[in-house]
Every structure is written in structure tokens, then in C-alpha cells.
Structure 1
């Protein structure tokens, strides 16, 4: 039986209700004929000619298809991600197990070598004893292809099996590395031992261990070296993971620091492979000879005292093997989706016809009416929404006129309100922008650094002074933390004050630091920005450059402590230096000497040659005395031609006397000033003390008294003041 089309099904009720020409009954009247004629004359626009049933069928079928396909895609995506995650986890676990076994094994070999190097035989035994010990050790440690001991010059004193006895290995990296401490060398081919060791299927390759040897007196004895056969690593790989790898058609490789394969399939050893920037990344894909692989890399980490050699373990598996279960599931999902979509087609078509039938009845009734305000529409069956629609259409016409008038009035009112609010907002924004420009101009032209730091210590405002002081545009620093902007040195200077300000306490402090190549003294204030609830939102900062003021202070302090003519410490600095020297003498117990000097007949120089010549004489005298004493001795000018010398760390007064005699000779060298020969000589009063109880005033007074005694003795000599405890006893003087 042929299934009718949607158009035929829609036309069947009209055909059934049409009067039969053979029934003999009267027709239904002219109204149905007019309606039918109206329907026949109406032709929908292009794009709207399909019936609602067809549209519903198409929409529902499309929705079902989209839902099935979306579910299939989601399941497929999840399944693939799950399969990749399982593959990565499996490969990573194998890689980590292999990595851990490799690190622990290397650490164990390194530990064995360290223990062997501590044996007394190698620290003080003869070469024959060392040879016997090495032969016995190699029996129990057959994974070491070579064991040997060298002297400090690199000559092999003894080796297991006599291999390389007497050979100089000073140029080998393991010997040179052991000169700086325990050494572990990366995998390398045999250089000297390739022809001496038994032949094997693979070339000999070693990992070098070397430790410096010390004799029983702690003196360098030589180097203990061991070459670990790299077949040891292949054995670990075979015992630990090869069986697992074979069942999954996967393989494991060990890559050196430069990416070269040092352990893996024979056709790949020695080749270089690209290492990822982050060796611990989750997954990599590789194409090898047209086959795609999943590859997981695990960097070695070392273990215990073994530092590691930067190796990377790579475990890889063909993608087709790793995702085999996923590919099987994808095929099942595809076939299931096709079956569900085929079942949905007839079901959607039937449901669409059932939903469209009441709407068709309602549309025919509306087509027969002239106005929506006519009598109520007939009730249609099927579902509640159709009856509600007919009632709503009747009420629509009545309310439409009222709503249109109301909407017109409301529209006019809203337009006026929007216009006035827009003008007010634009005016407010203009005023705010002008105010911000004025404030920014003021802040940028102030000779201070103004900024705002929020509670996370990020800069939110900076004036133009920031560019001048730090050489960085303020816009580039906005949003960065204070530490990122000014660096750790300047940040540590300000951190205590910043913490205090963020705690709500106003801070004021001075700092001296260098930025942008300029050293500045800054006076800074941190003002907390307090919220209404008392918490701190941030900190306002104001930094003023007070470098000029501080420089003046330092220069004034320097002028107050230094004699401007001679550059020597003046009386003020002398008092401080003498007190400090006495304190040091009390602590050390050494003797301290004080020499009070003045120039003999200095007044005659001023009177005959003038004060300018006197200044030259004073400068020359100061220079000669400073040249004759130690750098640690302090020469000060008290006033006029009076000088004082502080001499520390003496053992006996005799040393002070010898220095005084030396100064007499140094000062008496000929001097020509302004074309005239001037004979310089000085009188020196010497006082010595251990500073046990004597004050600095009493000490200086004794030296002054000794100076007067020297002058009384005829000038041009020195005199030793009696000790403070025996003022009546005098020592010989020059």
C-alpha cells in the first residue's frame, strides 16, 4: 500500500467533507465556498511553503541527529582523552620506575666506589698490595670493567688485571675532575681499554667514577678511578621493563644531556633526538619512519650523594597500539549513532503530524474571519495551547489600541529623560576628566615622586618623576609589584616601612640608594589609605630628593673634623681617635704611645717669610711625618705648629723612643721656601701607657709636659714622660 504524502494527508479532511454530486443532499452554503476560494487564492511566500508538519519533522529530526552526533562526539572525545591519559600514565609510570632504578643503581655504584677509596690499602699501601686488592675487588664487583689507582701526576700505580699499569692518564677527564673532588663522568666510548678488554657484541662504553686519595697524613696520594660498564644499565632495563615493553610494543630509551641516545634500540644508539624545553611535560608525539608514537620523558634527578648526569628517560609507544581500545569504541559509537538516527526518522514524522493537526484547524478558522474583534474563535482539540491561542487572539485586538497610545506617551517621556540624563552625564564626565588632567599636571610637575601602592603591593599610580629617577615609563610599571619595579635591593630598604603603612601606621624615613645610575638621598612618607571599616586599601607615597641637603651636611661634618691646610684630623677628630685608641689598648693589653710635637722657631718663619711660607712649612712637616710612620698611626694637627701622633700596638717604651728619633731625622731634611733655605727641626714629648686606668686628658697632659721638657733641653730632641704611676722617674731622652 502506498503511503500518502504530507500534502495528500492535509487535503483528505476537506475531500471527505465535500458534498457528493450523487447524494442528493443540499450543500453547506456559500460561506464554506468563499473560505475555500480564499484558501485557494492564497499563495505563501517562497521559503514558507512547507507545511508545519514538515517543518516540525525536519526540526525534531535535526535536533535528534544533533543530539546523537553531539553525544557521540563528546563520548568519542572523552574516550580519546581517557585513552591518551591512560597511555601517558602507563608510560610515565614505567619511565619513573626505570628512572628511579637507574638513579638508585648509579648512586649505589658511586657509594661502592667511595667506600673502596677509603680502604687503608689505597691510602698507604704499596703498588703490589693495591694490585692484589683491586683484583680481589673486581671478582666481587664484575660490573666495573676497570679499577685502578694513580699517583698525583696521573701515572697508573696499580690496576685490576694489570690493565694500563704505568700508563699516564693525566689528560683523561676523570683524573682531571678528581683533582677538584669526587667525580662522576657521563657515558663515553672506551679510549685506552677498547683493545685490552675482551671483545663483546656491543662496543665498550663506560661511566667514570673517580675520587681523590689522601694518605694517612692527609696529603694527596693520587686518584682512585673506576670504569662502570654501561652493559650494567642495559641489564637493569632488561630485568625491569623489557618484558612489559614487549607486551605493549613499546620501548624505552636513555638520552644524554645533549639528546643523544645512550641506551635504546641498536639502530638508534648514538643518534640525537630533540628534547623538550620541559622534560617533565605530560606527552609528546613523534613521527619515526612514518609511524606516530606517544613519547613521555622523565628527567633523572640523582639520588643521595650521586648528583645525577642530566639523563632523560624516554618511554614511547605507537599511537595505534596505545589507542587500540579507543579505535574499537569509536567504531561502535558510529554504528550505534546510525541505528538510532534511522529509528528516529519515522518517529519524528508521526509526532510532527500529531502536533500540527490542531494548528491547521485553528488556521482555517482564522482565515474565514474578517477581523480579530469578531465573535470568539471556535475551540479546537488536541492540546491546551491551541485553545489558549484562540482566546489570546480575541483579546489582542482590544488591548492593542490601548497599548499603542500608552506606548507612544511612554516613548516620548523616556526620550526626554534619556536626553537630559545624557547631557548631565557628559557634563559630569567632562568635569571629572578636566579635574584628573589638572591633578595629573600638578603631580607630574612636582619635584617629588608620588605613587600609590595597593594592599597587594602593586603600583596603581606614578607621576612623571618616576621616569626621571628610574628611567622607566610610569605606564610600563603600573600593575607590577614594587619588588618587580625597583628590584630586591631598593625593595628591602623600604619593606619595614611599607609593612608598617599597610598595617595602618604612617611612616617617615630616609634612605640612600642608587637608581638609574644616580645616588640619591630620599625623605619618604607612607600614608595609609584607610577604608570606612578601618582596613587599609593601599598606601600613598611621597619621596623628596634631599641629596643636596645631605651633601652639605656631610661636607660640613668633614670640614669640622679635618684641618683644611694639611688635610690631617683636627682637634675634634683627635679627641675621638685618642679615646678609641685607649679603648683598644685596654682590650688588647698592648702599649699606646702619644707624641706631642711642635716646630722649633716656627714663629721666626712667619715673621721673616710670611704666613704663606709658614703654611708651606706646616704642609711639608706634616708630609714628612706621615711618610715616616705606619699607615695605622694617626697624625693630627691641634693648632698652629702643634701636632700629635698616636702610635698603637707597641711592646715597650723603647719602640716609641726609636720612632721619635726617626722622626727627628725625617724632619731635618733641607727645605727651600720662597727662595730661602729653612732649617726644620721639632721637639717631641713622648708618653706611653697601657691605658689601665689613665684618662685621655691625663695622658695628653703627660705628653705635653714631656714636650716642654724637650724644649727646655735645647729643642730638636725628644723626651720620654715618666710613667703615670711613677711621675718622678725619667728615662733618657735624645
Structure 2
């Protein structure tokens, strides 16, 4: 172990068994990783400044959010109070006008329809005292103006006007703001178009019958005067304005450039709307709906008071600037304090780092002891202990390196021998599998082909190397894959599968016996499936031929007794379902034994084949002719409309068989006897139906043969 009195080795040299350092300026000969070049003092300074910045930013944001919310709330509440005052003034004013109209309608002069002149004088006097009434008049029960102030519209029919229609129903009427249609040309001109609010009171006699209507057009300049006296002077200093919206949202009272236009907001009571803009200016807006007053029901108006956001939040913006300035000053003051604290905390670690940077290896020399705070002293002691242990490990490593190369060489030879043995084993297995007359493959859990023997090329016409790594569906096609999908799924679930299938590939159809053997891991999961497919085409062909011979008469090619029994059962079932008629015939070749005895069995076989051909020639393709044994035949007729159709077929068969047959120079006269039985879909069994047909056959023979008889 090195002691404090030993000198460091000269640059460029290293102790025995130690690696050369990559840079003389890097501690322990190792390059510093990216991002580690800054000193601890700088990191601490940055962290303290970051903490101060986060604290200042958080505090500033909290104060700023609170101040903004308070400023917005105060602005909205102020606007709301103005809107409520304006709304109440309008409602009370309209209620007062409504009350005045109702009182005037009760005056005696306005009920004397026999003296229109006296009524007109009274109207003129009322208009002098109520100058905001632009027009006053009385109509008769048919809607014609009897008398009006100033004689305006005398004799005019106003029965179609909404105010008259509303009053004729028997109750006082208040109409919404509208423009002047009839009075525009009669009234004096003014700077703005005339607009009115209509009042109408029905004039009833003692029996409650309508005598006429007392109507008043209140000039809308009255509302503009209220707005000017109550609102405009107060709101002007704040650059705010008040609007009155009709039921459809159109401005009925407000700046002249907005009247008649629809304000693009939905009025909601008591809610400050930040996103109400007009002419590029963002507003706070508060809307208050009218509620009526006393007997005046209200017209659904909405008072909307708005103020530019920039003006409403002016005090808040000034406070925010002061908060930002204060935060910047505090952050600037925190920079020197952070730097001083960071230097004081990092000084012990800087001493250790400089000591480590002067050596090429940790175990070269003893490290100095540093203090300052407890953690730095503990780190210094730990590094000194680590330096001592590092020197001991260096000696151990030097001894171990001496024997390591020999062990690596020995291990390399062992691995080479193992690889050679494995390659030899794989060649033997490949040779065995390539020469087996079966198709062997391995499919992994993702259904990808990982192994194929040479048989695959002969069967599929594709080199095994082209199929490896592809999915089974891509290799054999979706049709063949669908046939094997369920079995492959079962094998991948861990159950061995054995099944037969028929497939066509490379232009050859094969019957295959396939086995799927799961490749089960020690933990019970399935890694893949081994498949073995054996070509059993020859065996299946023999099996099918034997089955055919067992069901077909080899002489005539007709179905034999075994096949007849199954076909009769199927025909009866179809007849019961379809509700049609089935005909069953027993046919017997007359005197067939004499042909065999006189001409031989070869001639008898010819006669049987001719008989079968003649019967087939007169029946339908859907009718089924079977040979039971010897010269006994049976014919099944389906889908008959009535039993008579079966007897017609029997007659055709009798006539077709009668044609003479030239055989070995001898002309033979053939004939047949037929027994016919019909089934109409009832509960009759097969045995009963066969018995009736057999009885009918014997009846035909008793009748002299060469004829047919029906059991029905």
C-alpha cells in the first residue's frame, strides 16, 4: 500500500497491472461524462437561484390571480348594480305610463261615441299634459279611428294593428317597441326615426260588450331620456354604456350605430362575460332581464351594461407591473447571496476533487482530510478507506490476470468442440428427416414455420428455405390453413391432435394423416408444435372403391339392396315433409330362369343389362332404379301429384320391355311383371309399403305376367 511519503509516478507511466489513463486532467484517468463539467458551486448557485425564482414566481402568480379575480368581481358587481338600477327605472316608468293610460281610458269624454268632436278636444288637452304620448286615439268596435289627438289618422281602419287586436280580447295591452308605419309621414321630423311602445285599453259598455279601444303610442324617446339622466352621465367617465335588448336580442335602446343590431352574446343574469367583443374591444358585460312592475307585466327586455376590460382592470394592471418589478429586484438581490452560500458549501468538496484530479489511480496516494461540515468529513474518510481497498484489489487483479488468458484459451477449445458435435448431430437429424416419406415441420407459438424437411419441396413445389419465417397461412394458403386452424389451436393449447384431411397443392390432391405434437416447455407453456403428415392417398382410394362396390351392383351399375334401403328411408322422409306422393314398384323379369337354362348365364347377364337400360330409358333422372337380386328390381318415384302417375310409368316400362331382343341369333321376347304401391305421406312404415308392393307383384304374375297391378 502506498503511503503519504511516496511520490506520484511520472506522467505517461502507470503502475503494473493498471490501465493507462485517457487524460492527465481527468480524475482517475477516466473522462468526465457529458453534463458533469460544471462545478458543485455553480450547481448550488443555480439551484438556490432556481428555488428563489420558483418561490417568487409562485407568490407573484398567487397574488396576481387573487388581484385579478378581485378586480373582475368588483367590476362585474358595479356593472350589475347599474344594470339593476336601469332595469328598475325602465320597469317603474313603463308601469307608470301603463297606469296613466288605464286611468285616462276611464274618463267620461272617451266613452261618448256620439260626440267625436268633444272626444277629440279632450284628447288634444291630454296630449298637452303628456307630451311623451306621440299619438292618442279612440276607435269604434270595428277598429276605425273615431277621434285622435290633432286629428291624426281620423277615420283610418287600424283593426289589423297588433295593439287593437290585443285590446279587443277584453284586457289592457302593452306592445313591444316598433317603428311608425302610419304616423311616420304625419308626425314632425326628428333626428332619429320615430319608434313607439303601444298601450291599448278596451272600452266596454255596462253589459261588458266592446264599444271601442283607447290607444296610446308612447314615444320611445321617453326611455332614451331616462337612460340619459340616470345612466349616461354616470357611465361616461368609465367609458361604459348601457343597452336595452328586445326579446330577440336586438338592440332597441343604445348607441345609434348598434340599434337594430343583434348583440353576439347570450344574456345571462348576473354573469360577467369576458369574450364579448365589439369593434376589436373586449368588454365585461352584465345582463339583467326586466321583471315588470305591479300590473305592468314586462315585455321581456334585457338590460345589458358593458365596460372595456382594459379600463375595468386598470388598477390590476398597475399592481401587476409593481409585482413584476419587485420580483426582478428580489431575484437580483438573491444572486450574490446564492453565490456566497454555494462557495462556502462546496469548498470542502472542491479540495477533494482537486486532490483526486492530481492522480491517475485512486490507490496511488492517500487523500487529504477535509472538514467544514459533517457530510464532507464523512466523505473524506470514506474515500481514504476506498483508496486503501483499491490498492489491495490491484494486487489481486494482477495475480488473476496472469491465469485468466490460459482459462480463456481452454474455454474456447471446449466451446469449439461442443459446436462441432452440435453441427454433426444436426446433420444426422436433417438427413434422417429429409429421407422419411412424411412431411415434418415445426411451427412456433406465433404460427410461423421454423423447420421443414425435404418432403415439403416435393409436395408443395416450394423450397423449404423460402417458407421459413413466414406464417403457416402464407405458406399453404388460407383454404388449407382454415382446415387445420382448429387442430393447430388445440395443439398450441397443449393437446396432441390426430386427424385426416384432404388437400390439393402443386397440382396433386392428397389424403393426409396428420399429427400435431405440442412442444411443451418445463414451465408448462407451449413453445410450438411438431407436425407429421403421412400421405394415405392410396389407402383412401382403396377404401372408397370398396365402399362403392359394396353399394353398387357390378353388372348393371345400379344401386344394390344396401343402397336401396337407405334411399327408400330418405325418400319417405322427403315425401312426409313435402306432402307429395311416392310410388314404389317391384319389377320381375318374366321367365328369366329359362333364359339362363337355355342360353347360359352370360346371355342372362346381357338380358339383365338390357332390361335395366330399357327401364332407365322411360323414367325420369330423379327416379331411382335399384337391383335387389337376380331378376328382382325396384323403382322409387318421388314428387308425384297422384297415384295415377305411378301406373302410367308402370305401363311405359311394360311396353318398353316388350320390344324383342336379338341374342346369339335368337330373337327373345321379354316381358315384366310390376307391382305398384303408393305412399301419400302418412304414418305407413317401410316394411308395410314394401309388403303392399310385393303383394301387387304377385297379383300381376297371377294375372298372366307382362302387366302391372296396383296395391291401391
Query: How would you bin the TM-score normalised by the shorter chain?
Result: 0.3 to 0.5
| TM-score (structure 1 length as normaliser) | 0.45
| TM-score (structure 2 length as normaliser) | 0.47
Structure of higher RCO (CA pairs closer than 8 Å, 6+ residues apart): 2
